């Protein structure tokens, strides 16, 4: 970038390496206290900057976009998901948006396997027993869980993350089924069974794992009716979006033992997850940690900055929306 440095605001605290690059290349305004700005704060910020590097916690909808100062022409989100953005409204106002795909595949796939194993092997119960000093010693029937070997794994959404989960699950000798908008070519399918209709796949899902985008068609996909299509004692894993699951239905199924266990990293209205999950001993819960590795988060920040660099150099950002 030539000439005076563009003014860029980072709306949350980001990894050190990301902030250092932003300060090197921009007249950067950081948020060291990691204080959520809210709509009014974002509007005020837009008056003094040329671009924003935002997080998924910053909801940029049509109402907010209508209030942004015309000076702010570029918004780069530190995320793959874009359900917090109104891309069409931004285009209408001449604002370019971008995201950060393809850099958190391995990190998220690892968390999916952690959730799968934690749910299947009753890890939350074991941890709770130890920390409460309630373990009285080994017994032959203590904390009997489900072995993943030979289990049928159903993956909804066979993009990069879904395929990475399938690759790892094969190392556990799991049998892979998947549902996707389009069937994969044989070299990427690697013997997995394709189901055009995700509902039709549920009956073979000893473990059901979500890796699809949020969309109106998938809103609360896993409801009470579809839970009844799963095998008795199935395990549900979600590292995609909380809105894919009907919380009331899943909680009821976990309480009744219809679903043996759930491993969840994402929730509707997070961080205000449904309180019914907290007391469940068969719910293995994590606080949206899917991409929480140094490597993945740095790569996300660098990709967001790559998009900003391209825009301010007069080019189309490589991951423009």
Continuous H helices in 158-246: 160-170, 186-189, 198-201, 224-227
The CATH code that applies to domain 7-103+294-312 is 3.40.50.720
Burial class from Cβ neighbours inside 10 Å (0-12, 13-18, 19+) for residue 214 reads: middle
Backbone angles phi, psi at 83, to 5 degrees: -70, -10
- Select the CATH number that applies to the domain covering 105-285 from these four: 3.40.50.720, 3.40.630.30, 3.40.309.10, 3.20.20.80: 3.40.50.720
Q: Tell me how crowded residue 133 is: count the other CB atoms within 10 A of its CB.
A: 7
Q: Where in the chain is the domain with CATH 3.40.50.720?
A: 7-103+294-312, 105-285
Give residues with Cβ within 8 angstroms of 3, minimum separation 6: none
- Output the pLDDT for position 205: 98
Could you give the angle at the alpha carbon of 178 between the alpha carbons of 174 and 183, nearest 5°?
A: 135
Q: Residue 214: its pLDDT value, please?
A: 85
199 is catalytic: no
Of 224, 170, 158, nearest to 196 by C-alpha is 158
Give the ranges where 198-293 is alpha helix by DSSP (H). 198-201, 224-227, 247-256
What are 42-58's pLDDT values in tens digits?
999 999 999 999 999 99
pLDDT tens by residue, 47-104: 999 999 999 999 999 999 999 999 999 999 999 989 899 999 999 999 999 999 999 9
**pLDDT confidence bin for 2, thresholds 50/70/90:** low
- Asked about 295 being catalytic, the answer comes back as no
Do 152 and 174 meet the contact criterion of CB atoms below 8 Å apart? yes
Q: Pick the catalytic residue: 84, 258, 274, 288?
A: 288
How many CB atoms sit inside 10 A of residue 163's CB? 23
Dihedral (CA of 7, 39, 269, 275) sign: positive
The one catalytic residue among 21, 241, 297, 303: 241
The token pair that represents 196 in the structure block: 């055009």
Active site residue 270: yes
- pLDDT exceeds cutoff 60 at 110: yes
Tokens of 222: 């896993």
Write down the catalytic residue from 183, 258, 270, 274: 270
């Amino acid at each position: 970038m030539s000439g005076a440095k563009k003014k860029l605001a980072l709306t949350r605290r980001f990894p050190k390496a990301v902030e250092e690059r932003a300060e090197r290349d921009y007249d950067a305004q950081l948020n060291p206290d990691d204080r959520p700005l809210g709509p009014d704060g974002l509007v005020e910020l837009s008056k003094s900057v040329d671009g924003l590097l935002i997080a998924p916690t910053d909801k940029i909808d049509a109402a907010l976009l209508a209030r942004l100062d015309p000076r702010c022409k570029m918004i780069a989100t530190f995320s793959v998901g874009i359900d917090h953005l109104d891309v069409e409204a931004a285009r209408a106002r001449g604002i370019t948006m971008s995201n950060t795909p393809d850099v958190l595949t391995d990190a998220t796939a690892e968390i999916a396997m952690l959730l799968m194993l934690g749910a299947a092997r009753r890890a939350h119960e074991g941890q709770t027993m130890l920390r409460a000093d309630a373990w009285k010693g080994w017994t032959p029937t203590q904390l009997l869980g489900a072995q993943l070997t030979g289990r049928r794994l159903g993956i909804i959404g066979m993009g990069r993350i879904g395929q990475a989960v399938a690759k790892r699950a094969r190392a556990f000798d799991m049998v892979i089924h998947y549902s996707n908008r389009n069937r994969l070519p044989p070299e990427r399918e690697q013997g997995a069974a394709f189901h055009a209709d995700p509902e039709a796949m549920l009956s073979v899902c000893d473990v059901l794992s979500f890796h699809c985008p949020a969309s109106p068609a998938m809103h609360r996909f896993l409801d009470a009716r579809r839970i009844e299509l799963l095998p008795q004692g199935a395990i549900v894993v979600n590292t995609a979006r909380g809105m894919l699951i009907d919380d009331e239905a899943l909680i009821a199924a976990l309480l009744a033992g219809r679903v043996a266990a759930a491993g969840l990293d994402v929730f509707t209205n997070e961080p205000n997850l449904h309180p019914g999950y907290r007391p469940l001993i068969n719910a293995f819960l994590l606080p949206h940690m899917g991409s929480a590795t140094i490597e993945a988060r740095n790569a996300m920040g660098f990709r967001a900055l790559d998009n900003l660099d391209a825009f301010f150099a007069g080019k189309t950002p490589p991951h423009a929306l």
